[in-house]
Homo-oligomer: A and B are copies of this chain.
């Protein structure tokens, strides 16, 4: 009964968020099937060493920590728009590519198909309210740049605007489109990456601690900060190699 009540409460909360956020990246919340609150018996096979407690099944839902990427695009009249996407990541090294997945209902969807280009704009934690806002209203109804006062800069490389005030941007050329279901995947080739000097190391690399970025936790509508340095990968791997 407790579980059922939780799900009802959760449903109501998600419903309110959806009402609040409208045509939003938070609408992705609606896609989560309710968790099947059962424990898994996978560990109970006598052929396997049982070292840990069984895991709990949470159902088929995409609820992993995800990036907060603000996508810049122009509409057919050249009006700039920005929307927040979390279904996103790097997907190739040569050519360097990113993938972003958008619902057809978004204004950005049509813009990218029209202009074959977009930018990825990475906000700093002091800009979290903008990222939340860009994900909560649609460019179909609102000129989001006018509303926020942020500056759209026309890229010299692709037909899309980037956000002057955001510290890190990618300029991308659309190279593939893939229908997946609720979302359409756009694959963009990175033509250039640009950054504010303030977030670079003395050698010109990205300094994550200066970027002060953050990520999105789907299902709970929350942003979390990026944290501190954990370790260099080479010596971490060496720990296991030399243990053998």
Among A42, A67, A135, A211, the most chain B Cβ lie within 10 Å of the Cβ of A42
- From the candidates B49, B58, B87, B192, name the one contacting A93 in the complex (CB within 8 A): B87
- From the candidates B91, B168, B182, B244, name the one contacting A180 in the complex (CB within 8 A): B91
Assess whether A11 is interfacial by the CB under 8 Å rule. Answer: no
Which A residues have a C-beta under 8 Å from some C-beta of B?
3, 6, 10, 17, 20-21, 26, 28, 30-32, 35, 37, 40, 42-43, 45, 48-49, 51-53, 55-67, 86-99, 101, 120, 122, 125, 128-133, 135-137, 147-148, 151, 153-156, 164-165, 168-170, 176, 178, 180-183, 185, 187, 189-197, 200, 203-206, 208-209, 211, 213-234, 236-237, 239-241, 244
CB A151 to nearest CB in B, in angstroms, measures 6
Among A52, A89, A169, the most chain B Cβ lie within 10 Å of the Cβ of A89
In the complex, are the beta carbons of A194 and B55 less than 8 A apart?
A: yes
CB A103 to nearest CB in B, in angstroms, measures 8
- What is the interface of chain A mostly: helix, strand, loop, or mixed? mixed
| Residues on B with beta carbons closer than 8 Å to the beta carbon of A222 | 208, 229-233
In the complex, are the beta carbons of B94 and A87 less than 8 A apart?
A: no
Q: Give 14 pairs: A residue, B residue, CB < 8 Å, sorted on A.
A: A6-B203, A52-B164, A64-B67, A64-B206, A65-B211, A89-B89, A90-B218, A91-B99, A92-B101, A99-B99, A129-B239, A206-B220, A215-B215, A222-B233
